[in-house]
Amino acid sequence: MLSRILLVSASALTLSGCITMAPRYEQPDAPVPSVLPEGDAPDGIDVTGVDWRQVVTSPALTELIETALENNRDLRVAMLNVQAARSQFGITRSARFPSLSASVSQTEQGLMDDDDPDVDPIVAQTLSTDQARAQLAVTAYELDLFGRVTSLNRAALQSYLSQEENARAAELSLIASVANGWLNLVANNRLYQLAEETAGSQEQSLELTKALFDAGVADDLDYQRAVTSVEQAKADRARFAAQRRQSLNALMVLTGAPVSDDLLDRAADDFTPLRLDLTVGQSSDILLTRPDVQAAERTLMARNANIGAARAAFFPRISLTGSAGYASTDLDGLFSDGTGYWSFTPQISLPIFAGGANWSNLRLAKTQRDIALAQYEKSIQNAFRETADALAVAATIDERIAALERLTEAAQRAQFLSEERLRGGVSDYLSVLDAQRQVYQAQQALISARAERASNAVALYLAVGGATPVASN
């Protein structure tokens, strides 16, 4: 008897899931050129699949990223979403297997007044029973002849894998955000130091102008112009001091832990916190490994599987219920010979009229698949644009920095000459102020360009998806 129910369950498992009515999935063609622009850089390391530790060279930045990976709340939510999706997949997957349960019970039944002489003895005997029962049962197991359960299981699996890719994307984005936060701190710290140095030199020029004014060589206009330059540098110093503090606050949120002020000292000398000689291959196929693109494709595959479940709803659903066990009027004799029993109840449900619900569900599943396809294609296009933008900057940023370095040197030489001419009385103070302003602006532009070069290296690493982070573990 027990073997019969096990045989039925094994047969059901063999027949179940043999087919699926979902459309055959084929990876869509990428709606972007097959070759990346400016992707054949002769020098540098190929950033595709490279772990972030091979890109970051700064011990301070490495420490910040490791702290963020451990404490960041957004990443924690992403990891919890993975756990939730894994649990949901387990729930859906369990429907592919029979649900086997065991139970033991004893029932005693009788009349309230069975000693009453007016009670019919036959009735009293009929209603007075003692029964013990032990059984194994399979409850309403769906025989998946048309692949409904299989399609739902595949959809749940792809949804789970999509959440894993989303967690990878969140981790990669966090690494990039911390790196950019550190670069902002380094740049703002350098701009603050520049403003402080400029304010000091401007104050020296102000003292010189004051001496010339007292000697009758310079007029009040020159003096007021000198005061203006000093106050402008002081205002910039205050602005960059606030931006330094804001950069620290941003890093505190990203790392999920307090950051000490000694980061300012460590940032002062950290001009090359990561490798700048990064490049990628020529083929745009590398973009298909980006976690956000992978997540979009997993979602597309899940929506494709849902079509199979919607199609299967038009066909009969067969469920099996069975049990086997022992029943006796005496618990002591429950497992004696002749007390065994079994039951088997197949049930078939055929949809006849549902008010168009099945057709609407099928159209909805196809529409959701088309939406997922458009989102997948958009994710590839975004990946291509981000990579192309980063490569465009990488192709020209060194030339721009070299030009700014030459500009700064020329401006500093012009400032020196104008100050010498002022001391010799052959030039006015306006020329000195103009030269100082050009030096200040050139130095600011050079700091910003160097920060942009480093930030673009982060953008390039993020654009191609980097290596598989630890989130999936």
What CATH number is associated with residue 375?
1.20.1600.10
Residues 213, 161 share a domain: yes
Tens digit of pLDDT for each residue in 388-434? 998 889 889 999 999 999 999 999 999 899 888 877 777 777 888 88
CA distances (Å), 311 to each of 20, 93, 140, 350, in order? 9, 19, 21, 14
Residue 471: exposed, middle, or buried by beta-carbon count in 10 A (0-12, 13-18, 19+)? buried
Dig out the tokens for 179 from the structure: 């790196």
Here the CATH number for the domain that contains residue 322 is: 2.20.200.10
**How many Å apart are CA 180 and CA 375, to the nearest integer?**
27
The verdict on residue 113 lying in a domain is yes
**438 and 343 both lie in a single domain:** no
Per the CB < 8 A criterion, the answer to whether 150 and 308 are in contact is yes
3-state DSSP call for residue 466? coil
Using CA atoms, how far apart are residues 432 and 420, in angstroms rounded to an integer? Answer: 9
115-147 per-position pLDDT tens digit: 556 555 655 555 556 666 777 776 777 777 888
pLDDT more than 70, % of the chain: 82
Could you tell me if residue 447 is inside a domain? yes
- Judge contact between 447 and 273, C-beta under 8 A: no
Task: With respect to residue 91, please indicate whether it lies within any of the assigned structural domains.
Answer: yes
Q: What is the DSSP letter of 332?
A: G
**Is 439 a member of any domain?**
yes
Q: Are residues 197 and 326 in the same domain?
A: no
Domain finish residue from 299, 329, 350: 350
Res 43: pLDDT:
60
Q: Angle CA(457)–CA(461)–CA(463) in degrees, nearest 5?
A: 110
In a domain, 184, yes or no: yes
Q: Which of 350, 374, 407 is the last residue of a domain?
A: 350
Confidence band, pLDDT 50/70/90 cuts, at residue 360: very high
The number of distinct structural domains making up the chain is 2
Please give the structure tokens belonging to residue 303. 């929506």
Q: Determine the Cα–Cα distance for residues 236 and 299; give it in Å rounded to an integer.
A: 49
Do both 234 and 105 map to the same domain?
A: no
Query: 367: how many CB neighbours lie within 10 A of its CB?
Result: 11
Structural domain for 122, as ranges: 1-19+98-143+316-350
DSSP 8-state code for residue 27: P
Q: Has residue 25 been placed in a domain?
A: no
| Orientation of helix 148-214 relative to helix 291-312, angle to 10° | 150
Pair 118, 50 in one domain: no
Return the percentage of the chain with pLDDT > 90, whole number.
Answer: 33
Q: Domain for residue 409, yes or no?
A: yes
Long-range contacts of 195-200 (CB under 8 A, 24+ apart): 195/233, 195/234, 195/236, 195/237, 195/239, 195/240, 196/237, 198/233, 198/236, 198/436, 198/440, 199/230, 199/233, 199/234, 199/237
Residues 115 and 153 in one domain: no
| Interstrand relation of 278-279 and 45-46 (parallel, antiparallel or unpaired) | parallel
| CA atoms lying within 13 Å on the CB side of residue 245 | 5
Tell whether 183 and 247 lie within a shared domain.
yes
Domain boundary among 296, 324, 350: 350
Q: How far apart are CA 335 and CA 242, in angstroms?
A: 83
Q: Are residues 49 and 169 in the same domain?
A: yes
Same domain, 189 and 270: yes
Quote the CA–CA distance of 410 and 405 in Å, as a whole number. Answer: 9
**0.95 exceeded by pTM:** no
pLDDT higher than 60, residue 15? no
Residue 24 lies in a domain: no
- Whether the per-residue pLDDT at 180 is higher than 60: the answer is yes
Residue 425 and residue 380 share a domain: yes
Q: Where do the H-state alpha helices sit in 215-282?
A: 220-255, 262-268
State whether 399 and 414 are in the same domain.
Answer: yes
pLDDT in tens, 27-78: 998 888 888 886 545 466 677 777 888 888 888 889 999 999 999 888 888 8
* Measured distance CA(413)–CA(420) in Å, rounded: 11
- Spatial separation of the C-alpha atoms in residues 358 and 363, rounded to whole Å: 9
Task: Please check whether residues 336 and 462 belong to one and the same domain.
Answer: no
